[in-house]
Structure 1
Amino acid sequence: MSAISASEKVDGFTRKSMRKAQKQRKSQGSSQFRTQSALVELSPLPQLKDVPSTEQQELFTQKLQQCCMLFDFMDSVIDLKSKEIKRATLNELVEYVSTNRGVLVETAYPEITSMICTNIFRTLPPSDNPDFDPEEDEPTLEASWPHIQLVYEFLLRFLENPDFQPSIAKRYIDQKFVLQLLELFDSEDPRERDFLKTILHRIYGKFLGLRAFIRKQINNIFLRFIYETDHFNGVAELLEILGSIINGFALPLKAEHKQFLMKVLIPMHTAKGLALFHAQLAYCVVQFLEKDPTLTEPVIRGLLKFWPKTCSQKEVMYLGEIEEILDVIEPTQFKKIEEPLFKQISRCVANPHFQVAERALYFWNNEYILSLIEENIDQVLPIMFGSLYRISKEHWNPHPLSAGQRGGAAGVVPPQEEDGGLGAALCQPGRGGLPLLRVLLSPVHHVVLQPRLAGPGPDLRVLRPGLLHLRPVRHVHRGSHQRRPLHEDLPPAGLR
């Protein structure tokens, strides 16, 4: 038999002799096992519901101790009987803790935490595939998941039990426990990371004394990820927890929270694997800005500082995040960043990669952003006009132009007068992205633009009023585009 106690686990690993096919779903154990000379086989214990209530607590302890026995799941044909006994026992424990009151007496806490630690805390093995790409390759799944899943389920029900007492549990669920839990977030198995996310969130909510420590350790993980390893499987899950934590921050924000935003979250945008966690990262950033609008200017300037130069996919993600920020921006904050921001948007509009150009033009589909542009047209128009005019004439791909039509033409009606001026020329049908330009030009009557235009274009030093007629844009209040948390099962984790 290969069942062994926790004390006999070893942390060393041996390199696999052969690598499995890249696309094949793989499984692996989390540690290597020594062979044991003495044979160990589990014997089934009576059901908890079948014994008198006076004996249930002792039997509960025996079952917890029985579940501390570990098995090698890399060999699927050995210890089948004992594996099934343990699986059934874990199922019974989950149900017992979920449906019974008075189970969590003080003497049960050390036995419960011992069983949990024995089963879930282990050294994660190195990846079989050093070139593992989470977007392309199948993850390596945990071979012992049939047991580990039930232990995680038991831990979750333990934390959520109405009789759970943090004052007792804090002796066992301490900083060491949290550190080991955070290390498991690097597991390749997404099922395990999903359980860990919920469990850590529950611990953060129930143990006030651990909150600052948890935030600090997540900060350290992210800093190592940014500046050292460039790899950590659980970044998205940790960011999702942080989104809930940030939502519960008390006002005014502490200096440490603002520093975390500027020194950790903003530099995380430079990560090579940004696509894997960008949605969660953007949500955290926007949560900060909704808490403190004065952070908008440094955040946008930070994003502009790290703006990707050679990766169009990341540029599209940045544009999406900028739009989310503009959804909640205060008009006073918009004035502070409009010039550097729209210089970058102007470059994106003129980008030869059509997806970048198209994503930038989609800003004009957002009515709140459009109202901000109209209020600041004297500053925005000189920056944007050159790029808009050039792509209407020269862009090789028709998609950005059609995006401009969708974004701009919705608020435009044909001019009521025709003449030979610039307005009539711009309103002629079939001019691609020029309906979008009409939206920009509509509030402008007399403004000198020619010296600020980059590249050749028509003489716009005098624009006659009345040439362009638009329906008024409906005013949209800031924050009207409500975003929901990525996972609604993670409520705000409390005020800190």
Structure 2
Amino acid sequence: MVLYFLSCFIDVPSSEQPELFLKKLQQCCVIFDFMDTLSDLKMKEYKRSTLNELVDYITISRGCLTEQTYPEVVRMVSCNIFRTLPPSDSNEFDPEEDEPTLEASWPHLQLVYEFFIRFLESQEFQPSIAKKYIDQKFVLQLLELFDSEDPRERDYLKTVLHRIYGKFLGLRAFIRKQINNIFLRFVYETEHFNGVAELLEILGSIINGFALPLKAEHKQFLVKVLIPLHTVRSLSLFHAQLAYCIVQFLEKDPSLTEPVIRGLMKFWPKTCSQKEVMFLGELEEILDVIEPSQFVKIQEPLFKQIAKCVSSPHFQVAERALYYWNNEYIMSLIEENSNVILPIMFSSLYRISKEHWNP
């Protein structure tokens, strides 16, 4: 495969640079096979240096984003990043234990992502022109790439989707709906999707920006999608991001505390002590922001569960539950409601003080 040589931007007059920009974009639509490590080495290196040049040009040049560049930019990006991801055998691949499969074409792919982010972040970028090309179909293909095993790619995708969400108001509801669909498929059908943590991270920022009062669709997303995410086996891979989203919702609307805690009680792990420790950690984060008026509504079922954890034969579960008594705010809530909580907790606390195998 041969790419014909084009001059560098610095070697041509500024009046010729816009046309050269278009030619270089078109040239970078040529895709090379990186699985064959010995083929087209000179051309691969030439494309890499051209992509580097494009990144620099779009970063420092003024007036480079003319209307005719938009379709060419999106075409070049689409040609390079949109591809069928290699099949992942979810039965054999354990993301907690195994090393991920890294994308062979990363020397080119990274620069394409870098270029696209600079394009989206450019002061000259006009969403009103770009929306003809960055549309729902583009977003759908972008979201599919979040299943990439390569964490470097997912990190770039996170930034790209965040920028698109911020700049294209007309795509926001669509993006939320598609993330919703990905999570529902993940929970109820596949239990396999590599980019859950990254999508939750984006959602944390989105939830933070929700206007008050919260729309019914947002509350439904919390109860019907985010809470059931706690049931999957691979929870540890994205639990920190999930807990952050939950807390963001409760800080926005404290009245959601009761359905959230009842949801956690419903899905409380019965046989996995590692998951129980995670649930207890998340519950403490929730209690850190709970309002006393909401605490009263859930204190009984909540402390019945905590009592079970305190007397758990798994010392890590028992220890994590007892940490609650080191939290000043939780202690103040317990003291205010001691007439309800102490009768629930007393027998468990007394029993472990006398009988627990790891006192």
CA distance in 1, matches of 2:131, 2:41: 36
- Pair 1:176–1:274, CA change in 2 (3 A): same
Q: Secondary structure at the match of 1:397?
A: coil
Unmatched runs of 5 consecutive residues or more in structure 2 = none
Q: Secondary structure at the match of 2:210?
A: coil
Structure 1 residue 335: deviation in Å? 0.4
> Which of 39, 50, 54 is the matching residue for 1:93?
54
Q: Does 1:345 align with 2:306?
A: yes
1:149 aligned partner, one-letter code? Q
1:97 aligned partner, one-letter code? I
By percentage of residues, which structure has more helix? Answer: 2
RMSD between aligned residues: 0.7
CA distance in 2, matches of 1:74, 1:122: 14
2:335 aligned partner, one-letter code? E
Alignment partner, residue 161 of structure 2: 200
What per-residue deviation string (whole Å, max 9, x for no partner) do you get for residues 25-72 of structure 1?
xxxxxxxxxxxxxxx312321101210111101111110011011111
What per-residue deviation string (whole Å, max 9, x for no partner) do you get for residues 140-190 of structure 1?
010001000000000000000000000000000000000000000000000
Q: Does 1:287 align with 2:248?
A: yes
Q: Does 1:315 align with 2:299?
A: no
Q: Does 1:364 align with 2:313?
A: no
Structure-to-structure mapping, 1:11-410, within 5 angstroms: 40-127=1-88, 130-398=91-359
2:276 aligned partner, one-letter code? E
Contact 2:90–2:192 under 8 Å retained in 1: no
Q: TM-score, normalised by structure 2?
A: 0.99
CA distance in 2, matches of 1:77, 1:300: 57
Q: Secondary structure at the match of 2:141?
A: helix
1:206 aligned partner, one-letter code? K
Q: TM-score, normalised by structure 1?
A: 0.72
Structure 1 residue 130: deviation in Å? 3.6
Q: Secondary structure at the match of 1:116?
A: helix
Q: Identity of paired residues, percent?
A: 79
What per-residue deviation string (whole Å, max 9, x for no partner) do you get for residues 88-115 of structure 1?
0000000100111101000000111100
Structure 1 residue 268: deviation in Å? 0.5
Contact 1:297–1:336 under 8 Å retained in 2: yes
1:290 aligned partner, one-letter code? E
Contact 1:43–1:82 under 8 Å retained in 2: no
Unmatched runs of 5 consecutive residues or more in structure 1 = 1-39, 399-496
CA distance in 2, matches of 1:107, 1:384: 70
Structure 1 residue 129: deviation in Å? 6.5
CA distance in 2, matches of 1:170, 1:64: 19
Q: How many residues align?
A: 359
